[in-house]
Chains A and B, each alone.
Chain A
Amino acid sequence: MEFNKTYIGRVLCTIKSLLTGLKTTLKEFFTRKVTEQYPENRKTQKISDRHRAMLYMPLDENGNNKCIACGLCANNCPNGTITIKTKMVTDEETGKSKKVLDEYIYDLGCCMYCQICVNVCPKDAIAFNNHFENAVFDRKKLIIKLNK
């Protein structure tokens, strides 16, 4: 019979496996604790870059957003969070009229942070940032105009 099938062998095997478990938890006992004490650690806390807290429009070096007002984000949004208002602008050099973005309105209260709008955007004109402290006392304040 194999040794670890005998009575003594089983006892020793059990002790060995129990000690493995004890070693694991002992290591855990002395590691740095992961608890974040939120309001106190505001200065030092690090929110993951991938965290989706709020939609914003990244600007280029000239201070313009990259939105071409194609409306893909608004059409793809499952909750109807995004409303795009456009206007026609005539180009002075060529004389052609062109549809440009007038107001990009984002309703934070409706958003479910699925990130579909960001994924469908052909120009990467919108993105999520990690500013998560968004609580307000009035629902109207959740409706935000993203372009400046």
Chain B
Amino acid sequence: MLDFNTITTAIDQYLHSIMPAQAAIVTECILVALCAVLAYVAFAIVMIFMERKVCAAFQCRLGPMRVGPWGLLQVFADVFKMLIKEIISIDRSDKVLYNLAPYLVVMSSVLTFSCLPFADGLQVLDFNIGVFFIMAASSFGVLGILLAGWSSNNKYSMIGAVRSGAQMISYELSIGLCILVIVVLSGTMQISELVEAQRDGWFIFKGHIPAFIAFIIYLIAGNAETNRAPFDLPEAESELTAGFHTEYSGMHFGFFYVAEFMNLFIVAGIASTLFFGGWAPLHIAGFDMFNDIMNYIPGSIWFLGKTFFVIWLLMWVRWTFPRMRIDQVVSLEWKYLLPIGLVNLLIMTICVVMGWTF
């Protein structure tokens, strides 16, 4: 299999040979940041197109078909429109926080995005508490949303932001518990080691029942984290116009929009890393021929395939269920998902201690 470590090491050595060590590190940081942001934008565009097409298919429509073949250029037209729109500053808003909020949201999702293992060695951040870092980085996006609601000087924004806070802080617990289930199973928090441990079998098969329950809870909580239907209370078009980003226009709105889509990608990416083995190919113990064929498919295709499958699952849920009330959202988390998650963690611990995993 293609190992990206050789490429990155070669670039590293080349940079060190032509400039001093400090300059080389700075150059590498800039290069990596550029690549990460470019990949971020590219995936956002793919995601927006996919969302529109999948949504259309679930509603028995064709979706965008006019701009370019099969509407492929529609997203570029939308992005261009967003770029040339004016950014309006709101009267009596808190200017500093108002302008800061979209960047906080995007920053948190870019940071989380850079933890995803796209292929062997193709990962920006990888260290011993990787999963923990993902939790930390993804949870300060809610800060940006709260600031956006607070600084807009608008009641809709405020209500949206407070709902979002209540929802995201609650559901973070469930996500944490699901990740803990996998950490208990694998015994590591480092993302590359998590993927490495799944080479001979994905965790959803290794951990059988508790891993599957964790996966389902993770999907529900992840949907809530990304503020998508049926958990789209923070936006709730019919009640709050657009929730916390009501007052934003132009590219500032674009940042929220892109961050929402990329959070979906990130949630799906982490799900595929934790439960479906990241870039690790599908291996069935005993079938060596089959395993060899699967090895020929590059890791990045495995990762993207799994991720887009999970994204499709999330979109399926989104376009099926109606929006919940805020009391339903909170009681689902605190009365159902959290207790079930805790019991599930206990089951997984017992399974691991007794050696009942594969």
> What is the interface of chain A, defined by CB distance below 8 A to chain B?
11, 18, 21-22, 24-26, 28-29, 31, 33-35, 37
Contact = CB atoms under 8 A, between A and B. Distances in A.
B317 A22 contact: yes
Contacts of A11: 336, 340
30 contacts: A11-B336, A18-B321, A21-B320, A21-B321, A22-B316, A22-B317, A22-B320, A24-B320, A25-B58, A25-B316, A25-B319, A26-B316, A28-B57, A28-B58, A28-B59, A28-B60, A29-B57, A29-B58, A29-B316, A31-B60, A33-B56, A33-B57, A33-B60, A33-B62, A34-B60, A34-B61, A35-B56, A35-B61, A35-B65, A37-B65
Contacts of A26: 316
Contacts of B320: 21-22, 24-25
A28 B56 CA distance: 10
Interface in B60-79: 60-62, 65
Contacts of A37: 62, 65
Given A26-B316, A35-B62, 17 more contacts: A11-B340, A18-B321, A21-B321, A22-B316, A22-B317, A22-B320, A25-B319, A25-B320, A28-B60, A29-B58, A29-B316, A33-B56, A33-B57, A33-B60, A33-B62, A37-B62, A37-B65
A22 B319 CA distance: 9
Contacts of B59: 28
Interface in B23-62: 56-62
Interface in B310-358: 316-317, 319-321, 336, 340
Contacts of A35: 56, 61-62, 65
A9 to B, nearest CB: 13
A22 B58 CA distance: 10
A31 to B, nearest CB: 6
A35 B58 CA distance: 13
Contacts of B65: 35, 37
Contacts of B58: 25, 28-29
A39 to B, nearest CB: 11
Nearest to A18: B321
Contacts of B60: 28, 31, 33-34
Main secondary structure of the interface of A (DSSP, over half): helix
Contacts of A22: 316-317, 320
Contacts of A31: 60
A71 to B, nearest CB: 47
Contacts of A18: 321
7 tightest A-B contacts by CB? A35-B62, A25-B320, A21-B320, A33-B62, A35-B61, A29-B57, A34-B60
Nearest to A26: B316
A18 B57 CA distance: 19
Contacts of B56: 33, 35
Contacts of A28: 57-60
A18 B56 CA distance: 21
Nearest to B340: A11
Contacts of A29: 57-58, 316
Nearest to B339: A7
Interface in B235-293: none
Which of A21, A31, A33: most chain B Cβ within 10 A? A33
A105 B58 CA distance: 48
Nearest to B216: A15
A21 to B, nearest CB: 5
A48 B56 CA distance: 24
Which of A11, A25, A31: most chain B Cβ within 10 A? A25
A26 B58 CA distance: 7
Contacts of B336: 11
A113 B316 CA distance: 41
Which of A21, A29, A34: most chain B Cβ within 10 A? A29
Contacts of B57: 28-29, 33
B321 to A, nearest CB: 6
